[in-house]
Structure 1
């Protein structure tokens, strides 16, 4: 009998140690996930800052090179946001004819980029109107991020 009691006493502390390790692994994984989330958020914020700066540059200089760079930056922001687990929001609307329409946020951003290109081509548009379209695009991107 004495032998059985010694065996039990050595097994039980080992079980306690393995249970303690599992608890620490879970908290470590949570910490890693939180840091990844913070890093992704800071990357998206940096991309948004760069987009804002590029939008202001478009309004000042009205060059097609700046517009092309802005479009690439918008595409990069959308790709980054979608890759990091953000979902696309879809809404359903009914038209005047009774037909159902499905609108996607990305489509709205694309429409605003087309409007920005047309405004840039039209030399009579003021910088304020161009900044207005850029602001709409930025708002949609922020909506996508949130």
Structure 2
């Protein structure tokens, strides 16, 4: 049985349309982040001044309310800095034996903010040490109470 082929025409490939990147969202993100960064620097400076003033108050008189306020100020400052200077991501992997592993990866995004946090810890080391002792004492009292 013979097969007869008529008019062989070459196939033309249709080029895939290029993906147009939506730049409006990127610009909006950049603009928003720049506005937040200018406000962030001012807010961090004010928080730093509050921490230093509270540290001076503690060095003059050891009052529990001042210590609690100092602890809250440091906690808020470090939360703000860490949330802006580090990025947390979670990645799933299979190990050599085929078991599922989840890794949490912390990447440092902003070196300057991290340096600022290190400077705070260095400058306020004595007061933070006092707060650590108070925290240990509170823990011991809580253990005795329960």
Same fold (TM over 0.5): no
Which structure is higher in helix share?
Answer: 1
Tell which structure's C-alpha radius of gyration is larger: 2
Q: TM-score range by the shorter chain?
A: 0.3 to 0.5
TM-score, structure 1 length as denominator? Answer: 0.42
Which structure is higher in strand share?
Answer: 2
TM-score, structure 2 length as denominator? Answer: 0.42
